[in-house]
Amino acid sequence: DAGVIQSPRHEVTEMGQEVTLRCKPISGHDYLFWYRQTMMRGLELLIYFNNNVPIDDSGMPEDRFSAKMPNASFSTLKIQPSEPRDSAVYFCASSPGTGRPGANVLTFGAGSRLTVL
């Protein structure tokens, strides 16, 4: 398995533009997570899905952020409009559906580094 695949790896955009980050989880994994890494807050959970259904989106910072999972092999995180404070590394992770989600090992993608000018 190629692991969790994220694209793009790097994105530089101007304030006000729409940004779409993409993720392909590991086949057979039932959970998909979107995290954001910043120096001040570390890794913050934005949203997670179970079997393509959003379970908890309480970490989504504002209405400018939205996430979808139209099928088991694809998810997007969209920011519209983007702002400089959204600059961060965004990680997608997936985990198996067995056992507790909080105790399952997450497999992370390599991340998408977003810079909003």
Partner 1 sequence: DQQVKQNSPSLSVQEGRISILNCDYTNSMFDYFLWYKKYPAEGPTFLISISSIKDKNEDGRFTVFLNKSAKHLSLHIVPSQPGDSAVYFCAASAESSGDKLTFGTGTRLAVRP
Asked if 95 contacts 31 with a C-beta cutoff of 8 angstroms, the reply is yes
Pairing relation of β-strands 112-116 and 107-108? unpaired
Can you tell me which of 34, 60, 82, 111 binds partner 1, judged by CB under 8 A? 111
* Closer residue to partner 1, CB minimum distance, 16 or 29: 29
Min separation Cβ 81 and partner 1, Å:
27
Size of the site for partner 1 (CB under 8 A): 25
What residues from 11 to 70 belong to the interface with partner 1 (CB under 8 A)? 33, 35, 39-45, 48, 56
Min separation Cβ 40 and partner 1, Å:
7
* Closer residue to partner 1, CB minimum distance, 106 or 114: 106
Residue whose tokens read 């379970």: 55
Q: Which two tokens stand for residue 28?
A: 């057979």
Pick the piece of the chain touching partner 1 (CB under 8 A) from 22-30, 68-76, 80-88, 100-108. Answer: 100-108
Question: Under DSSP, is residue 86 helix (H, G, I), strand (E, B) or coil?
Answer: helix
Q: CA 86 to CA 74: how far, in whole Å?
A: 22
